[in-house]
Amino acid sequence: MIAATKRKVLDGLNRRYIYGRVPLLHTIIFIIEMAVAARIAAKFNTYYADKPVLTTMATNAVLGGVADTVAQLITAFKARSQQRSSEDTEFISIEIPDLDKRKPSGAGELGYMRGSPPPFDFERLTRFMAYGFFMAPVQFQWFGFLSRAFPLTKANPTVPALKRVAFDQFIFAPFGLACFFTYMTIAEGGGKRALTQKFRDVYLPTLKANFVLWPAVQILNFRIIPIQFQIPFVSSIGIAWTAYLSLTNSSEES
C-alpha cells in the first residue's frame, strides 16, 4: 500500500513537470514565429517589390506555422486541464489497492506519462509550413486572375468585389480544401483508404464552416485591401482558420 501510494505521488510530480515543460516549448516556438512574422511585415513592401511570389510564399509559410503552433498549444492546454481535473479523482482513490501489479501506473510504451500533454510535433509544423509555402503561388495567380477578370471601378466597386467573392468561394475554396486534405493525408503517410475516409468524414463539414467565415472576410479583402496585401491579409485572418483545419485534421488522424 505504501509503495503504491509513493508511486502515485511520483507520477503526479512527473505529470506536473511535463505540464511545465511542454506548453513552455510551444510558447517559445510561437514567440519565435511571431518575431519572424513581424520582421517580414516590417519589410514586406520592399521584399514584395523585388520578389512578389517568393515573398508571398515565405509569408504564407510563417503564418501557416503560427496557425499550427496555436492549434498545438490549444491541444496541450486542453490535455493539461483534463488531466488536472482527473488528478483530484485519483487523489481521492489513492487508498484503493492497486490491482494491476504487472505494469507501472503512469508510464506508456514510449515513456510518456499517460494523459500528459503531447510533445510539440515538429513534423506536423513542417507539413503546415510547406503547405503554405507551396500553395502561395497558386493563390498568387488566382488573386491576379480575379483582379483582372473583375476590376474594381470607382463608379461601382461593390459589384466586381462580390463577383470575386462568388468565384473565390464556389471555385477556389472547394479546390483549396481538397488540396489541403489530400496533401496532409499523403504527407502523413496515408493511402487511398485514409484519403477517402478523410473526405467522407471532414471535408463537407469543413467546407460548410468555410462558407460561414470567408465570404465576409473576402468581401472586405477584395473591396478595400490592395492586391499586394490580399494574400497576407487572408493568411493573417486565416491563422484561426488554419488552426481549426489543423485541429480538424489531427483529430481525424487520431
Q: Model confidence at 150, in pLDDT bands (50, 70, 90)?
A: very high
Selected residue with higher pLDDT from 56 and 153: 56
What pLDDT, in 10s, does the model give residues 1-54?
Answer: 555 554 554 455 445 444 445 578 888 999 999 999 999 988 888 998 899 999
The dihedral sign for the CA sequence 53, 56, 62, 65: negative
**Which has more pLDDT, 182 or 75?**
182
Which alpha helices (H) appear in 114-172, and where do they start and end? 122-149, 158-167
pLDDT(232) > 50: yes
Is the pLDDT at 222 greater than 80? The verdict is yes
Between 252 and 6, where is the model more confident?
Answer: 252
Domain coordinates in residue numbering, the chain? 2-253
Question: What is the structure's pLDDT at 79?
Answer: 77
pLDDT of 77 reads 81
Average pLDDT, the chain: 80
Q: Is the predicted pLDDT of residue 179 greater than 90, yes or no?
A: yes
Segment 69-80, tens digit of pLDDT: 998 888 888 877
pTM of the model: 0.74
b/e map of 119-156 (b: 16 or more CB within 10 Å)?
Answer: ebbeebbebbbebbbebbeebbebbeebeeebebeeee
